[in-house]
Each structure stands twice: as structure tokens, then as C-alpha cells.
Amino acid sequence: MKPLKSLQQLTESFHKLPGVGLKSAERMAQAVLTLPEDDVIAFSDALKHVKSSIHACPTCGLFTEEKVCEICQSSRPFETLVVVSFPKDVFAFERLEDVQFRYHVLGGVLSASKGIQVQDLHLPQLFQRLEKEGFKEIILAMNPTLEGETTAQYLAVLLKKLPIRVTRLGYGLPMGANLDYADAITLSKALSGRTNLKGDE
Ligand SMILES: [Zn+2]
């Protein structure tokens, strides 16, 4: 029996999502067939809507439905800027209690194997902000992976000339871990154990 083309297309779409293997994607596609028509329409509308209404904040790169994101618009102090690789990492910090951080999302990590280079990261915006916004400390919060470390070290060199304290998350977090999977206690420990990369203060 030939595979049903539309079902195969839907399976392939689900398979593109992280953590969804081919078997799961097939089950999901078949489950869609059993949903009521209204639910399928709502599902398809939600997919389109999320893509058209959410964009990157022009200041920090975080996802937002507004012109500028909620955190950039907030009254949080311009004291500590946490530099992360991906928007999802911001959500990990925001799960902690009473955080008053501002963030900058690089949009990736340097990776020779994936061909991600310096010009692919949101670095010009970062340096514009550092000039304008007067932060006292930058916390480099890339994941503890080889690519995360490479990116943090590259940034540490660039930031060396600026009169700002530069720290890296202490770990607590195991090598290869993902920030967005870290629980609040581990992340709090990593924050309080952060190391000063300039070593002259
Ligand atoms: Zn923002």
C-alpha cells in the first residue's frame, strides 16, 4: 500500500520538532485525523499565529509580541546583564525568585561544525547596549558545552577592555548540560559561584 501523501507530509512536519522521533511523529499525525474539525482548525491557526505574532526584541533578542520586550521596557536596574545563547535560557533565569537581571540573547553559539561564526551572533547590538546602558556586571551564561565555552572565552577577550565586571556562571551545572533544564537550586548555585574572568578585582 502506498503511503498517504498528506499524512506523510504531516508526519514529516512533526518529525522536525525537537525530541519527536519518526514513530512518535506518525502517531501524532494519525491522532490529528481523529480530532474534531474545530480542534484541527484551532491547532493550525495557533501554529500560524505564533509565527506571525512573535518576533525578536530589537534590543535584547528575546521573543516578544510587543514592539520591545517586557523586560527591556521594565524598570529593572541597568546593573547586571546576563548574556545567553538562546531565548529559552532567559526563561530558566526568570524561574528564579526576585531576579532583576536584564538579558542579551546572542542567537546561537560559535560552532565550527554548524558553520556558526562571529557575524552570526547578535554582537553589534550587545556592544551598542554596553555603551548606552551603563551595566556594572556582565554574566556570561552560555551552556557548559564545548561550543558554549568557546563563545564565552571569545566574548571575555572582547569585553576585557571595557570597565565592566565580567563573570562566568560557576558550575554546579554538569558539562554538556542545558541551562533551560537546570532546576532553580542548581542555577542559583551556579550564579552565586560565578567566577570573575578579569581576575584583577
Ligand atoms: Zn528586550
Q: How far is the CA of 23 from the centre of ligand 1 (A)?
A: 38
| Ordered domains of the chain (ranges, CATH) | 5-53 (1.10.8.420), 56-196 (3.40.1360.10)
Query: Is the pLDDT at 174 greater than 70, yes or no?
Result: no
Q: Ligand 1 centroid to 59 CA: how many Å?
A: 5
Q: Indicate whether 166 pLDDT > 60.
A: yes
Q: Ligand 1 is a single-atom ion; what residues have CB below 5 A from it?
A: 57, 59-60, 62, 69, 72
Ligand 1 center to residue 43 CA distance, Å? 28
How far is Cα of residue 57 from the mean position of the Cα atoms in its chain?
13
Question: Whole-model pTM above 0.75?
Answer: yes
35 close to 43: Cβ distance less than 8 angstroms: yes
Q: How close is the Cα of 138 to the center of ligand 1, in Å?
A: 16
In this model, does residue 3 exceed pLDDT 90? no
Q: Which of 19-33, 111-125, 135-149, 164-178 has the lowest mean pLDDT?
A: 164-178
Residues 53-111 have pLDDT tens digits of 999 999 999 999 999 999 999 999 999 999 999 999 999 999 888 889 999 999 999 98
Residues 132 and 46: their CA atoms lie apart, in Å, by 38
User: Is it the case that residue 154 has pLDDT exceeding 80?
Assistant: yes
Distance 140 CA to ligand 1 centre (A): 17
